Chain A
Amino acid sequence: MSVIVDAKGLSCPQPVLLTVNEMKKVKKGEIVVLVDTDTSKENVSRAAISQGWTVKGVEPEGAGFRISIAKD
């Protein structure tokens, strides 16, 4: 069961900040981040990669995106 970070409707840098905080908290596993702008999608993906996580998938969901990131 992955953790869900709901960053929909939040402006910069909140989506990245929430994601980074969650990555620090759980250390590994899978996190699903919900965002609603392309900018947030790019920023969250970039932040995840820079912290050594991998982006497993980006799916459109509603008016935004569902980003799955993971670390073993």
Chain B
Amino acid sequence: MPKYVQFFSTRWGIIGVGAFIGVFAQLLQKWGNPANMGICVACFERDMAGAMGLHRAAVVQYMRPEIIGFVVGSLIAAYAFKEFRSRAGSAPIVRFILGAFAMIGALVFLGCPWRAALRLAGGDWNAIFGLLGLTGGIWVGTLFLKGGYNLGRSQNTHASVGWILPLTMLGFLVIMFIFPQVQGQDKSGVLFYSLKGPGSMHAPLFVSLAIGLIIGFLAQRSRFCTMGAIRDLILFKQAHLLSGFIALVVAAFITNLILGQFHPGFAKQPVAHTMGLWNFGGMVLAGLAFCLAGGCPGRQLFLAGEGDGDSAVFVFGMIVGAGIAHNFGLASSPEGVGPYGIPAVIIGLLVCLFIGFTMRKQIA
């Protein structure tokens, strides 16, 4: 292989990583995570917001070790391969807002692109509307990219800037050890723990953490990105990242068949609603926000792990956005969209259009 190629950046590398995520997401579900939610970056960050009491939706409160593992695993990979590079300063406030609205859109659909894929692989056909919406939102984003949209340049900076999110995640882990879940109690020290609902369902802490670390490591090496998968196909007719995303769906589907977790249909799917238009609309918003911010929620975690302070801001935007989504009644539930979910999607789209139309050219 030429020196500018490393195995994980090859076609088979990205396919292997996608398949690994697909298999282990479904195994995490078998080991305790919620149905069709073996791994969901948006849902899990929402659960973390709940664990900290940023929202008080009692059914979605748990400090998810997978997310901590994603960031720290990526950090380890970046250091191991001398790729850690602390950088920041590319329109951080815009990234924060994009993160918040991406989360709101994802919670109207009930899942990030990873979960959309896992829901599809579990037979939840409502996910088709979500994936179509995601594609539509990214397509709009590519029009802005073609028109010169960009967030400006980042600058190299102190290593500690890149360490802030990984250290925060390690801090969350330490808090989990200090205040562990107590059987039958909804609070332990400063942390909230769901007694029922998706937040109460989780694989053992160390299993979740270990798998999160491995995925974080592999995804940093392979640059796995679900938004980039669709964007690159539309923008460059290039299917490199897409092959990883498809591998995830196929591997998750096969694993579901083996584990008896495949239940096809529209109605009564776990942590999902059947309002097709808003499954679509929520993900149009999320897809557009991800595209304007340059990465799916998973990719933002991996970038933050390798020192990207702007991606870290996006992550905090998503966590705060989850708090807002539940406090303001924007998030959906199995009964359907929240009382203010629809206006929130429309406002989010307008905000994204404002950002897309006004931040063009001028790369100096």
Contact = CB atoms under 8 A, between A and B. Distances in A.
Nearest to A11: B294
A7 B120 CA distance: 37
A42 B5 contact: yes
Contacts of B9: 42, 46
B90 A17 contact: no
Contact of B236 (A8, A9, A16, A38): A16
Interface string B139-156: 000000100001101111
Nearest to A6: B363
Given A37-B83, A47-B236, A10 B223 contact: no
> Chain B at the A interface: mostly helix, strand, loop or mixed?
loop
A52 interface: no
Interface in B211-260: 223, 225, 228, 231-232, 235-236, 238, 240
B151 A13 contact: no
B154 A50 contact: no
A55 interface: yes
B2 interface: yes
B310 interface: yes
Interface string A30-47: 000000111101110111
B238 A47 contact: yes
Interface of B: 2-6, 9, 81, 83, 85, 87, 90, 145, 150-151, 153-156, 223, 225, 228, 231-232, 235-236, 238, 240, 294-295, 308, 310, 363
Interface of A: 8-14, 16-17, 20, 36-39, 41-43, 45-47, 50, 55, 58, 63, 67
12 contacts: A10-B154, A11-B154, A11-B295, A11-B310, A12-B225, A13-B294, A17-B235, A36-B85, A42-B6, A42-B9, A43-B223, A46-B238
